[in-house]
């Protein structure tokens, strides 16, 4: 549990590496025909879970002095996936491991066993794989076969990313999106990372009569990379953009890629539309000026931004809207309900209408205790809320932050904040 004092923060902070990019680079490197070195300045529980799982699938991986050495080797007779609570690790590695191993033991922790897998398991069953039961822990048997995969687009884009990463080991395969693919940029990130490691994916856009498809040719394989750089994480940089927009104090985040394909790069436009100023100097982004205009955010392509944006909405006078949030109910918590509860518990005004959330900001909150329901992004939201609160914010379950940003409270204090364990 942490307490965060209502004290403004400001200054310069380095970006942390993008976990979405790190998962993909590690997997591509582990599947490659030659060794790789990946540059990663910090890790997190989720990235560690992918490294541990890839070791259990046969790769030799070491992480020292901010460099990951990946030595691919042949898959063991019985492999393992140890995702802990990382949905990305589990959903990417299910098809990947079935493309190289005959048998895989799969475990999961926290809410992860109850997060959706059915559409992926269904398609894997139609392509040669059996499961001892339909939710982890389970044993998966049989090699995944090449072919045509059909996948619903509105449950998790991670199903697509997993099948794409598995395809080079299987042979020519096509993945078809049934309905619009939500969180599409996460699939783009998979495709660009695969390309970085030598595998081309051909995308055929949807027409009036056909769905979008992704095709991987026969006889294509991943090739290792030297000194492959993981880019800065826009989902976590969003914390600092929101902090600056809430207080008007300027914050510089160093090491960001302006042209990133990460879904949450959209935070730049959101904060700018709300009235803050963004200035680039090379890869360093400075955000200054208080946001004053209410937000209108469609969550379909950037689900992970809602928690931090809910704090921003409380700091802006007027009603902000967050629409199309159905998939937020399928994350580490029911994030729609958890965000609504957090805002209410801190004295804010929130209304839920189906899968849409409306927050009427007054510019300040009362503060008090909130339950972060074991969700790292709720911890970020609660800390940000302290910036506009009359009283300290006490964060129950703040340890959840280690899922994506273990040094978060240290960085908060480096920027002049006051957060400590109680
Ligand atoms: O592929 C990824 O790295 C992710 C995809 C998104 O999930 P969904 O596609 O399930 O919405 C996102 O919310 C998650 O944090 C990370
Ligand atoms: C939902 C998240 O991650 P995952 O799906 O990998 O558990 C997240 O980081 O917010």
ipTM, interface predicted TM-score of the complex = 0.99
Same domain, yes or no: 217 and 289: no
The yes-or-no verdict on residue 191 having pLDDT over 90 is yes
Same domain, yes or no: 208 and 291: no
Does the CB atom of residue 404 touch ligand 2 within 6 A?
Answer: yes
How far, in Å, is the centroid of ligand 2 from the Cα of 391?
30
How far, in Å, is the centroid of ligand 1 from the Cα of 367?
30
Percent of the chain with pLDDT over 90: 98
Domain boundary among 183, 210, 229: 229
- Counting ligands in written order, which one lies closest to the CA of residue 186? 1
Same domain, yes or no: 124 and 136: yes
Domain boundary among 229, 253, 283: 229
Which of 26-35, 68-77, 124-133, 343-352 comes out lowest in average pLDDT?
68-77
The token duo for 224 is 């290792």
Same domain, yes or no: 212 and 246: no
- Counting ligands in written order, which one lies closest to the CA of residue 377? 2
Q: pLDDT value at position 74?
A: 86
CATH of the domain at 270: 3.65.10.10
Tell me what percent of the chain is helix, strand and coil, each rounded to the nearest 5: 35, 25, 40
- Say whether 304 is catalytic: yes
Percent of the chain with pLDDT over 70: 100
- Angstrom CA distances, 41 to 38, 51, 165, 173, stand at 10, 15, 24, 35
Same domain, yes or no: 354 and 417: yes
The yes-or-no verdict on residue 333 having pLDDT over 90 is yes
Binding-site members for phosphoenolpyruvate are 19, 87, 115, 158, 335, 377, 403
Tens of pLDDT, residue by residue over 356-380, are 999 999 999 999 999 999 999 999 9
The yes-or-no verdict on residue 77 having pLDDT over 90 is no
Length of the chain: 422
Q: pLDDT value at position 202?
A: 98
DSSP 85: T
**Across the chain, what does the average pLDDT equal?**
97
243: containing domain = 2-16+232-421
Tens of pLDDT, residue by residue over 226-265, are 999 999 999 999 999 999 999 999 999 999 999 999 999 9
């Amino acid at each position: 549990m942490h307490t965060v004092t209502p004290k403004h923060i400001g200054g310069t902070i380095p970006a942390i590496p993008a976990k979405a990019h790190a998962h993909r680079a590690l997997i591509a490197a582990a599947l490659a025909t030659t060794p790789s070195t990946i540059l990663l300045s910090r890790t997190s529980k989720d990235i560690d879970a992918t490294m541990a799982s890839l070791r259990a699938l046969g790769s030799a991986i070491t992480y020292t002095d901010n460099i990951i050495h990946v030595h691919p080797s042949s898959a063991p007779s019985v492999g393992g996936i140890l995702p802990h609570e990382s949905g990305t690790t589990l959903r990417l590695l299910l098809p990947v491991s079935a493309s190289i191993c005959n048998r895989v033991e799969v475990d999961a922790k926290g809410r992860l066993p109850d997060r959706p897998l059915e559409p992926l398991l269904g398609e894997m069953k139609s392509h040669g794989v059996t499961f001892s039961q339909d939710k982890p822990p389970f044993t998966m048997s049989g090699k995944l076969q090449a072919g045509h995969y059909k996948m619903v687009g509105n449950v998790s884009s991670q199903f697509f990313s997993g099948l794409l990463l598995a395809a080079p080991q299987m042979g020519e395969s096509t993945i078809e999106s049934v309905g619009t693919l939500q969180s599409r940029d996460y699939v783009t990130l998979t495709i660009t990372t695969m390309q970085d490691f030598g595998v081309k994916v051909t995308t055929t856009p949807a027409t009036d009569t056909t769905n979008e498809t992704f095709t991987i040719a026969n006889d294509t394989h991943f090739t290792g990379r030297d000194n492959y750089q993981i880019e800065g994480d826009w989902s976590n940089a969003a914390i600092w953009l929101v902090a600056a927009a809430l207080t008007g104090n300027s914050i510089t985040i160093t090491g960001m890629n302006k042209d990133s394909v990460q879904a949450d790069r959209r935070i730049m436009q959101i904060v700018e539309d709300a009235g803050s100023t963004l200035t680039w100097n090379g890869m360093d982004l400075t955000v200054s000026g208080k946001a004053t205009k209410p937000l209108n955010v469609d969550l379909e392509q950037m689900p992970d931004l809602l928690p931090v944006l809910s704090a921003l909405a409380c700091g802006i006078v007027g009603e902000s809207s967050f629409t199309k949030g159905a998939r937020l109910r399928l994350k580490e918590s029911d994030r729609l309900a958890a965000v609504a509860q957090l805002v209410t518990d801190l004295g804010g005004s929130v209304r839920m209408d189906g899968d849409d959330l409306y927050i009427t900001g007054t510019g300040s909150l009362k503060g008090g205790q909130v339950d972060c329901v074991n969700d790292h992004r709720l911890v970020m939201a609660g800390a940000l809320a302290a910036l506009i609160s009359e009283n300290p914010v006490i964060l129950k379950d703040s340890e959840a932050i280690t899922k994506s940003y273990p040094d978060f409270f240290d960085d908060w204090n480096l920027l002049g904040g006051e957060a400590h364990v109680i």
